[in-house]
Amino acid sequence: MQKKQKSTGLIWFTNNLRVRDNRSIELACEKHDHVIAIYVFDKHIFENTLFGFKKIERYRANFLLETVRDLKENLDQKNITLLTYFDFPEMVIPKICETHHIKEIFTQKEWTTEEVDTLNKVASKLTEGCTITHSYEQFLYHPEDINIDLESIPSIFTNFRKKLEKFVSIRTENTNTDKEDSNRIKNNTTLPDLNLLGYSEIKTDPRSAFPFHGGESEALKRIDYYFFESKKLSVYKQTRNGLIGTDYSSKLSPWLANGSISAKTIYWKIKEYETENGTNDSTYWLIFELIWRDYFKYISLKHGNAFFKVDGILQKSYEWKSEEGLIQKWIHGKTNAPFVNANMIELKSTGFMSNRGRQNVASYFAKELLLDWRIGAAYFESMLIDYDVHSNYGNWLYISGVGNDPRDRKFNIERQAERYDPNNQYQNKWLQKQLF
């Protein structure tokens, strides 16, 4: 009797850079005898964008390198080898599949243009019989559970939130088991460094509100500290509009953005915290923010490419400008608004900015300077450590009057500065002579 040939599955990591609560790992380990993993530092995302910015700047690139390094170590503990390349995915992945006789690739489900283009390029070069299995891994509320047609996703966040909170449950975390030691393969690949990716080395600005490192291990450490050690979660709602220091907010967004922690893991950790310490407005408010994150993902699913077009999802036309001098003054913190300047210098110096700061600088860009909001969004994409395509563009649409805000508000920057930085402590911190 002929012995059954053992099968090998390939996990293609993109923005799901974690071991815990990872459906792609779970499926691959369930369905195949052997499992290999791959991460490709896609050369496409290290190019310049249409608006002249690097697609990914050095702070985000460094955080990504740290994350993949941690992922490699965590997978190694499960006896799964992570191959890493600085190349084009469509050039590397089909070759790996041929070499290792792979018939099934497991990866995160994507729907925005650039990500789908990459998937399609890879799929077009695979040999016949090799398939790609996609899993929704970015959501708190799974798309199969919400019982709303995409076309019927409410245009108002509150309506969306209330319906989900009332009728939909959060799934438990995915689980996976370790593979046998024999699952490992010889790994001749090496992780690139910042220099290879085209960047200079980074010094952490001592003023940074985000001095943390990338990776799932660091994300879980942060949860342990912010929730269970310091119990800062219990005052999150009161402190979340802060500007200075590491603890005014959870700071989980960078790890969420590249998938080194999942929204579900955070949710169930909050529930664990509430069991031990009680429920209040603050513990709920972090869940509330996770639902906002989901909402922008559903809005981008609903509206497709309109999410990235100048007239937005409202198809509302404004006379936007693209004056280079004004853009550069905004980027380098040389506008007539000190509060805007301080926030922009923080972003340029650290790759991070508070939520309060983001709302103000985006409103100033679109509503005061009347500049094309897509340019501001592209700059944020380049610079922010916690860049998430759906949240970034969703928030810019919202602030610019072409998204999900029915009120089309404009921030009074001076009043905002008086309210959130009454003693100019934050502005003085960042408007002093730059250290780097």
Could you tell me the domains of the chain? 8-137 (3.40.50.620), 139-170+210-303 (1.25.40.80), 309-431 (1.10.579.10)
Alpha helices in 202-252 (DSSP H): 216-223, 236-239
pLDDT at 436 over 50: no
- SS3 state of residue 339: helix
What are the pLDDT digits (tens) for 297-352?
Answer: 999 999 999 999 999 999 999 999 999 999 999 999 999 999 999 999 999 999 99
The pair of structure tokens assigned to 343 is: 């926030």
User: What per-residue confidence (pLDDT) applies to 406?
Assistant: 63
Residue 365 · residue 323 · CB < 8 Å: no
Q: What is the DSSP string of 355-412?
A: HHHHHHHHHIIIIIS-B-HHHHHHHHHHH-TT--HHHHHHHHHHHHTSSS-TT-----
Mean pLDDT score, 111-126 = 96
Q: What angle do CA 349, 210, 216 make, to 5 degrees?
A: 125
Q: How confident is the model at residue 49 (pLDDT cuts 50, 70, 90)?
A: confident
Residue 169 · residue 145 · CB < 8 Å: yes
Residue 31 · residue 97 · CB < 8 Å: no
Mean pLDDT score, 246-258 = 98
Task: Identify the CA nearest to 36 among candidates 12, 55, 60, 56.
Answer: 12
What are the pLDDT digits (tens) for 358-373?
Answer: 999 999 999 999 999 9
**First CA to last CA distance, the chain:** 70
Q: How many beta carbons lie within 10 A of that of residue 329, not counting itself?
A: 17
- SS3 state of residue 39: strand
Residue 67 · residue 254 · CB < 8 Å: no
User: What per-residue confidence (pLDDT) applies to 11?
Assistant: 98
DSSP strand pairing (34-42 vs 131-135): unpaired
Average pLDDT, the chain: 95
User: What per-residue confidence (pLDDT) applies to 281?
Assistant: 97
The pair of structure tokens assigned to 411 is: 């921030």
DSSP category for residue 227: I
CB proximity list for 184: less than 8 A, separation 6 or greater: 79, 80, 81
DSSP strand pairing (8-13 vs 81-87): unpaired
Mean pLDDT score, 404-416 = 86
3-state helix, strand, coil in the chain (%, to 5): 50, 10, 40
pLDDT at 435 over 80: no
Least confident interval from 101-110, 140-149, 199-208, 400-409: 400-409
Mean pLDDT score, 200-211 = 94
Q: How confident is the model at residue 173 (pLDDT cuts 50, 70, 90)?
A: very high
What are the pLDDT digits (tens) for 273-305?
Answer: 999 999 999 999 999 999 999 999 999 999 999
Residue 274 backbone class (left: φ over 0; alpha: ψ -120 to 50; beta: rest): alpha
Q: How confident is the model at residue 50 (pLDDT cuts 50, 70, 90)?
A: confident
DSSP category for residue 314: T
DSSP category for residue 229: I
331-351 burial, b at 16+ Cβ within 10 Å, e below that, comes to bebebebbbbbbbbbbbbbbb
pLDDT at 1 over 60: no
Mean pLDDT score, 422-427 = 97
The pTM is what? 0.95
The pair of structure tokens assigned to 373 is: 């909001």
pLDDT at 380 over 50: yes
Q: How confident is the model at residue 4 (pLDDT cuts 50, 70, 90)?
A: low
Residue 254 · residue 219 · CB < 8 Å: no
